[in-house]
Structure formats: structure tokens, C-alpha cells
A and B are shown apart, each in its own frame.
Chain A
Amino acid sequence: MAAPLEVIVSSDSSAQLWNISVFDLHSGSSLLSYRGGNSAARTLTVLSGEYLLSAQLGKNFINVWEIQRKDQLQQKIVCPGVVTCLTASHNGLFLATGVGEAVYLWEVCTGKLLSVLSRHYQDITCLKFTDDNSHFISGGKDNLALVWSLHSVIQLDISHTPEPRHVLSRHTLPITDLHCGLMGPQARVATSSLDQTVKVWELSSGELLLSVLFDVAVMSVTFDPCEYFIFCGGSDGNIFQVSLCSQTLGREKSFQSDNEGNQVFRGHRNLVTCLSVSLDGTLLLSGSHDETVRLWDVQSKQSIRCLTHKGPVTNAIIMAAPANMFLPDSRPAVPLPRFSRHLHASEGDGAEMGEVCIRLGLHAKDEEETFLQKADRLNSLMNAVTDKSVFGDGENTKVRVSELEEEVQTLKKVNKDLYDFSCQLLTKPT
């Protein structure tokens, strides 16, 4: 049997037999299951196709599996608080975690905690990276969604507190989900909220483009890959489809007399908490608190398959199957380091301190600062370092001063000798 291209990865909150299960997208057969613990909502993520991560429900650690070893936990990453959301950048270099009101950002290759962003006032509900990993967006219960540019967040400069690039503040109740479209920094972002609206924003400017008001609170939102449609999961179990281009809407109208009900997927009986669209945009996956995961045909809006779970579904994702998933002998290319829990946890091991070097992608670099300014700043930093090492503390300066004084003494002496010598020469009677 050929390995499937796309798989459904899902988890529920009861997790009696297994934590995370993997299904084939087209046949619906169960392929794998990962054991140990259970996963909190919006915390399931795959790290560079090699590791599977999910936060433990109600506890303060993250479970990590190697993706081919389904029955054994590889590691538990202990976090400073209960993890509310978790996501890994698409290139697998960074791991962003919402812990309470703060976003913790780790560098995966070293395990260093790069920064803690506490701009939210209440718990963070969702985190997403853009597809080029240049930005990430966090949405919280304080009605705000913040757009962060990754490079400004991970600066070494400690005195500089990172500021979000945009603050999206038009929602009036907590944000429940957000989805970031394609096209990197020019993407559109959709946010859903308990205030019964779904809003579409322009990431580059932070402007609101569109706001759709529903009858019920919206618990989850996603685009299809072409961004023709928004799918919104309501709190009454209906999934609404909003077309973003009216032309198709108009054409549909001319052929089909009754449009009503055409844009609603009916079947769930409780909150629809997760939505995901397959890569070709034909299948929609939805997970709900009525303990089912349903697969829908987008065109006909029928439920194709219903995968029952044992508890409220916390995560349901369609993803391209990672290569290692079905090769039991494979190994992750890079071992996962220990993740540090403190921002500057380097009092003990100073050797590790200097190792970090962050290189940004060519186009992900900050454009606001010219190279000259950067050079200036680096220069001043370097100078500061040398200044510190040379003139830094009192004892060093004293030694240095005495050295210099000695040198002055010797120079004076040499000068005097020279003077005497020439005097002798000049005054010597010839």
C-alpha cells in the first residue's frame, strides 16, 4: 500500500486509549495512534516533519513524540504555566507557545528561550505563523490579535522590548481562532470571535477588510488554499461558508433558485472547534465538542465521513503526511535539545552563551534599518564590550592606569637622557 499523501491528525480531550490518532484522508482508516497523556485544544503541531508536539491538557508541559515512534514519549518540555496554544514555524526553527498571557518563543536547534512577549492582557487562545515564517499572529481573550514580526522579536538587544507590528483591535469579545492565509507578509488573516463576527484583515497594513456578522458565536475559522472561501465553525454546530468572490456567488444564484442553506454545513450538534481544508480544497475537516470529527465535501456540502471520538475533539488537522511517519526505522535528523525555561538561563553555563547566532532569511530582514545604522549599532555594541573589558571594573582601570603611568615615566626618562646627551654634544668644546 502506497503511503498516503495527506492524513488527518486528531485528538480528543478524554484520550482513553490513545492521545493522538492519524487517519487516512480518503479511506478514513486509522493508520497510527500516539499514546500518552491527552492534548489541549489548538496545541497539536508537527515540528519539521520529525516530531509531534502537543500540550498536556491542564498541565504545564508539552508532550513530544518522534513521529515514527508512536508509543513512546520522547520528551516532556516543561513550561512555566499551563499551555493554551502551541505552534511551530513551518521551517521547524521556532516554537511559539502561549502560556497564560505571554507568548514564549523558543529556538528549536538550541532550545534557548528567545523571548517572552507579554503584551496580551488575558489568556492567549491561538497562535499562527505566516507561511514564510516572517511573522506570527497571536489572538487572545482580551479581544486583541497582535501581529509580530519574528525578526524584531528575536533581537539580541535586551534593552529593546519588542513591540507588535500591528494591533488588531476591532473585536469586542475574546478571539477564538485565527487563520493566516498564504503569501507571507501579504497574507490575509481571518479571526473569529465570540462576538459573532469573523473579520478578515490585511497583514501588511493591519487594516480590517471585511467583517461578517453571524447569528452565533464563531469558534473556529479557516480559508481554503485558494482563499475563495472562509469556513466558520459556529457554536451551534453549523459550519458557514462565506464566499470571498462575488462572481461565483452571482453565477450560483442564476443557476440555483434557492440559495438558502447552500452555504451551511449541517451535522454537528455542538461547538465546532477546529476546521481544516485539504490541500486541493475539496475536503473540509471539522472537529466538534459533540465528540465527532467530520469530513465534508466542500462542493456538495455533505458529510462524507464521521470519525467518532471519546471526548470533545481538541485538535483536527489535515496535513501532508510527513515522510518519516510511516518509516519505523527512520531517525530525526536533529535531536531535540532541552528547552530552557528562563529567558537568560546562562549563569551556570557561560560557554553556551556565545553560541547563538541568528541568521534571518534574505528577505525576512528588517527593512527599516539601513546597513549603516546597523553597523553603527554593532560598532557601539562592540565598543561597549571592549570598553567594558578594558575599563570595565575598578581594579582593571587601576592596573591600566598604573601601567600607563609607568610608561610615561619611562618615556620621560628616555627623553631626559636624550636631552642630556645632546646637551653634552652641543656644549662640548670642539
Chain B
Amino acid sequence: MKTKKRKRQDDFQKVKLKVGKKKPKADNATNTNFRTKGIHLTEQLKRDTSGPTTLRQLGINDLLSQLHHYNANVKHSALLGLRELLSINPSVLEQHLSRLLSEVAAVFTDKDRNVRVAATRVLRFIAQSVPAERVAPFFPLLSAHLSCAMTHIEAGIQEDAMNVLDVFLEHYPALLAARPAVLLTNFLELISHRQSSSGAKKAQDTKGRTWALSVTPDRAVTSQQWRLSVLLRLGRFLQAVVEERPMEKSGMSVSVEGVFGSSEEGRLTPLYLNWEDLIYSKVGFKVYEHSGAKPSPHSTFRLRPEVEPGAAVGEGLDSAETVQSFAVTLVPLLLEVWIEASATDCSWNSTEGAHLLTPDAMSVMFQVLSILQLLRKLTPQQEHQEALDAWFRKEYLGDFKQHFMKNFPYGALDTPKHKKKVDLKRNKQTAAIPSLTVEPLALNITLCQVMVSLSQKQGLGREVDGDWLTPLRTFVRDTLGSGVKLSYRQLHMLLGTVWKMVLTQRSKTVTEDLLAAVYVYYKQRNLPLQTRSLLLSFYSKLYQQEQGHTHIARSKVLSRWLASLPVQLSQLGHRNPVLSAQLIFSIQAAASRGNKDLLNSLQTHANSLYDPEEGVVALLPIESQQRMVQLLYFLPKMSQSLLANLSSCCTAGRFSASLTASLIRIIHLRSSLSGWSVGSQEAALQDVDYISFLFSTLTGFSSEKLDTLQEADDECALPSSPLSPLSLYLTPLEQFTHHWDVVEEVCHCLETLGSKSQCFDIFQTGICKYLTKLEVVPDSMAAGLLRAVSRLLDLSILPVEPVLGFLSHCCLSLLALLVSLQQAAPTETNHKREAVWTACVTALSTIPRLLRIVLQLLHVGDMNEEELPQLGQILSMLLQHTPLHNQLLANTALLQEIIQHLTRYSRGATREQWLTDLLYCYSVTVAHGSSAHRGNLCLRDMY
């Protein structure tokens, strides 16, 4: 008890506080008399230097993590920061692409509008700088987020999804188009809703329609504008699908370029070889492995499909069935959209102006039509497309006629002034929707194309389309005929329409009507090149279609067009080689079909076309020249003047040697002397003309040119001397070579003429008549003549004396030239020297008489000192040539005389090298010969 008490006292001892005394400190008092100092952990506070940062020192990791923040403003600023970071440091993009894309895509569906807009901006920025193939692996994710946004329950998110879609369509159309099925359904859901099952029963009465347009009153924009913007995207999307389809080229070119598109490439790439390359085995090829086609490195095969199979609609939109099933839902919706648009339009419109549309209605209609058009193009194969057309016709022709054709040529309604205010207000509201103005012309043309594609081949037992096609036809005719400025694309579409109408209607009047309108357009001046070539290819494709279409074959417009082609070609000149090539192609196609109009026109203009100076043939590039030369084959008659032109074409050097050869061959084929004729094709030229053509080509110089040569005292011409009796005009090396090649070809033609003796007869008459009186002779001509004579001459024929005289002059002059050339320039003129030498030697050996005359011409006494060595050289060269030995031996007496003279006249000087050589050659030759010819003279006598 006592202890208890004491304890209590201990516990609760009273502290006595007294005034003036310091208060004792409490036991638990905190000692505050320490001083603090900051601790700097230098490592921790270092900035994020692992990567670049924004101005607010935020790195990519911070920014990305901020995107998960609950606050919209933080997210917004993070997105702005991202954009800033990426624009400063593009390298970040490469490193963090995967994370960036997945995080940014996740905020597509953010509740706050600003965030979504910022996200779209970032996405656009990324899309601009990253190519499609690098985004491809992330694209499933992106498109999943896109779908999510498009089908979001909030209208605002849906609207902004359109902007995201725009970015994708702009930058990655191929990726987007790769899997179209899901997106298509999304599009449908944007503007309509599936009717409930109870409604479906009722709807079965009305064509089993289960989708209906939806109206959302709480949208910021009117439902009309909303639909327009969706349709716009849908149109772009389908366009992407059509364009990016990885199908074979042929199918695509048909669908994109139109039926008369210029490219017509097959699946295989043919191999073009040249015989020269082959023979030197520069190229190797195997026909039986891949057939020259190259394997494509971009295989689309994947072991595991990217999307699990069994998606709602079949993956690709490439079969007619899938397109049909899609169209079944889409087309009624489109029609409804248009009906509503036109109804609102008409409500404040008087009835007589029903064909006038407000810009809004017009763009709605334009979108509807272009989507219809794209739907048609979705199937790649031609036969599917036809099936689809037929199906469209069956299902919807009535609807289309009723809704589209009623007020067909649509025009724009002039917006009254007092509406302007309202419009401004509206514009402010709908800033998000890209406003595009549609011209009524474009609208009408598209409508034409859509409707005409529905028309059918006229046949027995089929309903006639005439009634509703007539306004279309009138429109097309008026548009083309009135000279309205059309863009390339519009013209392309119009021509497509004409094409289809001409092929399906099969009536002569319709064809004439339309083609005449096109012709009016064609005849306009100042058309751009692209347009001009489009029109040209339209006509030429149409012409090639004529088989089986008598109404096309008999069309007067077409034949007028064909007949005008040669004139156009000659007028075009060298100004536009591409267009000329196209013209020549068309001409050739028609010529090979034996089109009378064209051939007549070609014949009348042949002289100007083949003029050697300013004719087209001389001015165009080599490929076109070749075509032009080939065209000659089809000419029904070749006049003398034309042949004269051609001959000077051959010699003027505008053509390559091979082209000249083929020209000569073609003329040869068309003469009656060629022997190759199948069927009944009369010769285009008379034999006389042909031979004179050959002769003048062989000569290589026109008579006028030769005349001027005679008169001009050119320094080019070597003066005549006792050693070279003719004055030789030195042709440039190139011309000489060219002429030599031509001579070979002409000789070949002359050889195949048949009787050689007659041929030679004519030939020597020609020489007699035209050439023997010449004083100045071009060296190429002299060599050519010698070559021709030696090739044509039989041993049985003896040339007449004047010709022999002329030839011997030629020969001697050439030999003199040869010697002088040998001294001057050894390397460059190798070919020329060889040609000259062979020409001389073969001529001398084939005509023994010629050798004799040449030897007789050598009057040593008349020559001066400089010429003696040259003569010596000539003689030793002849003596060294073994094929000539026999001929020379026959003329030993002459030879001996000459050599004696030579030794006598050169006695004054010291015995020179050339003389020693000559004497040696002579002794060898004669000694060699003396074994055969006994009792020859001995050399001793000479000394």
C-alpha cells in the first residue's frame, strides 16, 4: 500500500514554477540548434541526357508516359512536345517508331477534341517522314485504332477519325487498301445503321434492305454534310483500292487507263536481241527457263496470314461476288443520300429549274457517281467487270434512270446574294470538312460514264437503250463539238464514253455523230501534247477494233482521219518526235491492212515525206526512220520522183548504213525482179525505174552534184596528172565508208536480178552515157564502180571500149591515190585503203583487158621526178599480189618496157630503194612465172 502511494507520488510529482526562474527544459524537447545544409545528389538531378529533349527538358520517355495522364491538358501538351521533339530530332523517330505509333494511335479515341487534333497532327508529321514500307508492320495496329475511332459511339470521335483516315489515304494508300473489308463496313456504319431484326422482316418486302440511313441530330454538322464527307473518304478509299491492287498489269491498265490506254504490256517481258550481240555471245539467254521473264523479288507469300481467315466479307474485293454483296448494301444507301440531297434542294427551288443544283447537292451527287464508278472498277478481270455491269443494269437501271437521268444535263445554281451570310456562318461551322467545288461539267461527264457503262450490246431480243442514251449522246456530242476547254482527265472520260457507246450501240448514225464530234475536237489547234496523243491513240485503237464492226469500218470520219495522217506527219516535221512516232504507228497499222484511203493519201504525200533534205524521214530519230522505211513496202506505186528522192536519201548520209541496206532491200522486194511474191500483188515499180534507182544509188552522187564538182576548182580534188588521169575528189572518210556499204548492198541486188550479162549490159550503158565524160570523179564513186563491175562481170562478157577506158582511168587514179595515202596517214584510212585496194585488184584480175589498158596508160616519159617512185610502188604492189601473177605474165612485154623506161629515167639519181624493190619483185614474179613460161627474158639485158 505504502509503496503504491510512493509510486504515485513519484509519478505525479508536482513541478513548481516560479516567477523569475527559468523554466526547466522538457525532457522531450527537440534540440533545434543544428543547421541544415542541402545535399546535392549530382547523379540524380542530371537531366535526361540519354536522348534529346524538348524545350521543357522532357525526353521521349516522359512525353510518352504523359500520354497516359488523366488530364487532357497534360496529354495535349505532351503531344505538342512530341511534335516539337520529332521535328528537332528526326533520329528519335527512327528509334522509337514502334512505341510512338502505338501510343499516339491510342489517343485517337480520346475524349478531348484538342488531344485528338494534336494526335492527328503528330500522325501527319510521322507519316510525312516515314515511308510506307517501314510503317507496314505497325499498320494492323494503326488500322485497328482507326476502326475503333470510326465506330466510336461519340460523334466527335467519328468525325476526327475522318481526318486520321485522310492522313492514311494521303500517305499510305497501299497499306490501307490491302485489307478493305473491315473498313468498308465501317464506312457503311458511319452513315447508316443496320435495322433491327424486327424491322428486317418488314424490310424484306423492299428488296431485303437491311441498312438504312441514320440521322444523328446532335452532330455539329448537318447530316447532309456529314454524309458528304464520309462519301468523299469512301471514294478516295475505293480509288486507293483500285489503284494499289497488286494484280497483273494488263488488268490494271484496262481499268485505270481506259480501254484505249496506250500501254498494252503482256505478263511476260519479251527479250529483244540483236544478231551481232548474239554472234559474239555478248548476251546469253534461255528460252525454256522463265522464258526470259524475271522472277519478282517482292513475294507476297506469308507463312501465316496477317489477319485470321474468316473475316466477314472475303478479304480481297477482286471477285464479282464480293463486290456485288458490298454494292447491294451500298448502292441503295447512295441513292437515298442523293434523293435526300435533291429533295432538300428542290424544296426551295422552282420546278422548272430542277436541273440546277446547289454546290452542296452537286458535290453529293459527284461523290455518289464517282463511288459508283469505282465500284465498277473494283474487279480486276475484264469478264468479271462485264458480269458486274450486267448485274448493275439488272438491279439498278430503273432507279438510276429515275433519279439521275430525269434532269440530266445539270447546271450550277447561281447562289443568290442574300444567302451569303448564312453560307459564311455555315462555313465557319464546318471548317473540318474540306470544301471542294465540283464543276457541273465534271459532274455531267461522270454521270455519262456511269450510265453508259450500264448500256448493253444491242442485239436481238434485248430491250433498246436508245431512249435514255439519247440525252447522254447529245451531251457528249455538244461538249466535244463546242470546243469547251476540257482537262485531260475529263477528255479521257468522255472518250471512254464515246468508245463504249460506239461499241455497244452498233449503229452507223450514232458512230458518225460521235466520231465527228471527236474529230472537231481533234482538229483544234494548240492542244497539249498529252491530249493530242490521247486523241490519236483513241482513233488508232478504234481503227484496230474495226474487224467485226462494220459500222466502224465504214465510218467516213475515221477514213477521213486516216487520210489526213500523212499530211499531219509531213506538217509536224521534226518538232515532236514522240507524236510523229505515234502517227507513224497508226499509219503503219492502216497501211498493213491495205486501207485504200490511207494508201492513196500516203502515195500523194510520199514525195514530201521522203524528201532527202526537209522530209520527215530525214529529220526523225532512227526508230521512226526505220518505221518510215518499212512503210515504203506498203506503197502501191512508187513514182520515179519518189525513187529519186529515196536514192538521194540513201546517199546523203542521213540514214545509217544498215537502214540504207534495208531500204534498198525493201525496194528490191517490191520490184517484179525479187521473185518473192505470194498471192497476187503487183510490183510497185517498173523494172526500168528500179534499175535506174540502183544505178544512181551506186553512183552515190546526183548529176547536179557531179556537175558542180566538174566546175569547182576545189582543193579537195587532186589534180590530174599523167599518173592519175582523172582528177579525184576526196570524199570524207565517213561518206566513203557509207558509200562502200551501199555499193555492197546494191551489188547484191544487182547480182540477184537474174541474167548477169543483160544486167551488166544495162550497167555499162549507164556508165557510158552518164559517167565517161567526167573529169573529176569522187574516189568513193570510182571505187564503187570498180567493185560493181568486178562483181557483175562474167568472163564471157567483154565490156565495151569507152567503159574500159573510163574504168582504167579510175583504176589508175585510185592506185595513185592509194600510194599517196599510204605515205600520209597510215592508221585512220586503213579501211578506205583496203577497200580501194580490193576494188582495184579484183577489177584488174577479173577483167584482163583492163590490166592491159592500165599498163598501156603508164607513159613513163611524161612523168616528172616525184611521180616515178609512186609508179614504182604501184607496180611492185601489183607484182606482189599473187592472184594477178598470171595476168601480169601475159603482159610481160609491156611490163618490161615500162620497167626499162623507169630505170632509164631514174638513172640520174642514185639507185633508190623503191627501184631496188621493184626490180626484186619483178625478178621474183617473172622467175616464178618462167618455170611455167619458158624462154623469158633475162634480167641482165636491162642493166
Q: Do A and B bind each other?
A: yes
A residues neighboring B (CB under 8 Å): 41-42, 82, 84-85, 100, 119, 121-125, 141-144, 161, 163, 170, 172-174, 176, 188, 194-196, 199-200, 202, 205, 207-217, 219, 227, 235-236, 240, 242, 244-247, 249-250, 252-253, 259-264, 269-271, 273, 289, 312
A208 x B266 contact (CB < 8 A): yes
Give Cα A250 to B284, complex, Å. Answer: 8
Contact with A along B653-694 (1 / 0, CB 8 A): 000001001100110010000111011110000000000000
Give Cα A289 to B661, complex, Å. Answer: 20
B292 x A121 contact (CB < 8 A): no
Asked if B273 lies at the interface with its beta carbon under 8 angstroms from chain A, I say yes
Residues on B with beta carbons closer than 8 Å to the beta carbon of A84: 678-679
Give Cα A194 to B681, complex, Å. Answer: 16
A246 x B285 contact (CB < 8 A): yes
Which residue of B279, B594, B674, B675 is within 8 Å of A259 (Cβ)?
Answer: B279
A209 x B679 contact (CB < 8 A): no
B288 x A122 contact (CB < 8 A): no
Closest chain-B Cβ to A115's Cβ sits at a distance in Å of: 15
A260 x B669 contact (CB < 8 A): no
Known: A202-B291, A236-B748. A213 touches B284 (CB 8 A): no
Residue of A nearest to B287 (CB): A244
B286 x A215 contact (CB < 8 A): no
Give Cα A212 to B270, complex, Å. Answer: 10
Which residue of B271, B593, B665, B752 is within 8 Å of A217 (Cβ)?
Answer: B665
Residues on A with beta carbons closer than 8 Å to the beta carbon of B748: 236
A253 x B292 contact (CB < 8 A): no
Known: A172-B630, A213-B274. A82 touches B281 (CB 8 A): no
Residues on B with beta carbons closer than 8 Å to the beta carbon of A246: 284-286
Residue of A nearest to B748 (CB): A236
Closest chain-A Cβ to B291's Cβ sits at a distance in Å of: 5
Residues on A with beta carbons closer than 8 Å to the beta carbon of B278: 212, 242, 263
A195 x B752 contact (CB < 8 A): no
Residue of A nearest to B681 (CB): A123
Give Cα A249 to B666, complex, Å. Answer: 33
Give Cα A208 to B270, complex, Å. Answer: 5
A202 x B268 contact (CB < 8 A): yes
B residues neighboring A (CB under 8 Å): 266-268, 270-276, 278-281, 284-288, 291-292, 547-548, 588, 592-594, 627, 630, 633, 658, 661-662, 665-666, 669, 674-676, 678-681, 748, 751-752
A235 x B665 contact (CB < 8 A): yes
B287 x A210 contact (CB < 8 A): yes
Give Cα A200 to B292, complex, Å. Answer: 11
Give the interface SS of chain A, mostly helix, strand, loop or mixed: loop
Which residue of A123, A200, A215 is within 8 Å of B275 (Cβ)?
Answer: A215
B291 x A211 contact (CB < 8 A): no
Closest chain-B Cβ to A9's Cβ sits at a distance in Å of: 20
A194 x B666 contact (CB < 8 A): yes
Give Cα A31 to B513, complex, Å. Answer: 68
Residues on B with beta carbons closer than 8 Å to the beta carbon of A210: 270-271, 273, 285, 287, 292
A173 x B273 contact (CB < 8 A): no
Most B CB within 10 A of own CB, among A123, A210, A242, A270? A210
A209 x B268 contact (CB < 8 A): yes
Closest chain-A Cβ to B593's Cβ sits at a distance in Å of: 4
Residue of B nearest to A199 (CB): B270
Nearest 3 pairs between A and B by C-beta? A246-B284, A123-B679, A121-B593
B681 x A141 contact (CB < 8 A): yes
Residues on B with beta carbons closer than 8 Å to the beta carbon of A289: 675-676, 752
Known: A172-B588, A174-B633. A82 touches B272 (CB 8 A): no
Known: A142-B593, A215-B661, A219-B676. A244 touches B288 (CB 8 A): yes
Residues on B with beta carbons closer than 8 Å to the beta carbon of A41: 678
Show 8 A/B contacts (Cβ-Cβ < 8 Å), sorted by A. Answer: A124-B679, A170-B270, A212-B274, A236-B748, A249-B284, A259-B281, A262-B279, A289-B676
Which residue of A196, A247, A249, A271 is within 8 Å of B675 (Cβ)?
Answer: A271
Known: A123-B681, A210-B271. A245 touches B287 (CB 8 A): yes
Residue of A nearest to B662 (CB): A196
Q: Contacts A119-B547, A195-B630, A249-B281 given; 16 further ones with Cβ under 8 A?
A: A125-B679, A141-B592, A142-B592, A143-B592, A207-B270, A208-B266, A208-B268, A213-B273, A215-B658, A215-B661, A245-B288, A260-B280, A261-B279, A263-B278, A289-B752, A312-B675
Known: A119-B547, A209-B287. A263 touches B273 (CB 8 A): no
A125 x B752 contact (CB < 8 A): no
